[in-house]
Amino acid sequence: MPTPHNPPAAVRRALRKLGADIRDARLRRRLPMAIVAERAFTSRSTLQRVEAGDTSVSIGIYAGVLHALGLLDGLSQIADISNDSVGQSLASSDLPKHAHPKRPIGSSRDG
């Protein structure tokens, strides 16, 4: 039996904000919950949970709702390397200090 997932407070805050932003986007578009839920291939009650930032709703459902609102493009940019300054810094520190050309197979150093 799986253990209950209790994400950190920062995760819960981020999902609550995402849910509120999704709700605001739906309202700005003047779309009722039933329409967005249908377009996202989910139920109205699940859409309510998304808009509340429920951590137990799968990322696939969140993505479906974003797609239904025309906002899916932003999801693919979240962990993009251009937004990952820590990852870029770590990758840069692993680069070799000097570049050496590869020798062809069978060549010797003595010539």
What single string gives the DSSP state of each residue in 8-27? -HHHHHHHHHHHHHHHHHHH
More confident residue, 90 or 11: 11
What's the pTM?
0.76
What residue ranges do the domains of the chain occupy? 9-73
Number of Cβ atoms within 10 Å of the Cβ of 45: 10
From the candidate CATH numbers 3.40.50.450, 1.10.260.40, 1.10.760.10, 3.30.70.270, the one assigned to the domain spanning 9-73 = 1.10.260.40
Confidence band, pLDDT 50/70/90 cuts, at residue 2: low
User: Mind listing the pLDDT tens digit for each residue in 54-88?
Assistant: 999 999 999 999 999 999 998 988 888 888 888 88
What is the rounded CA–CA span in Å between residue 16 and residue 53? Answer: 4
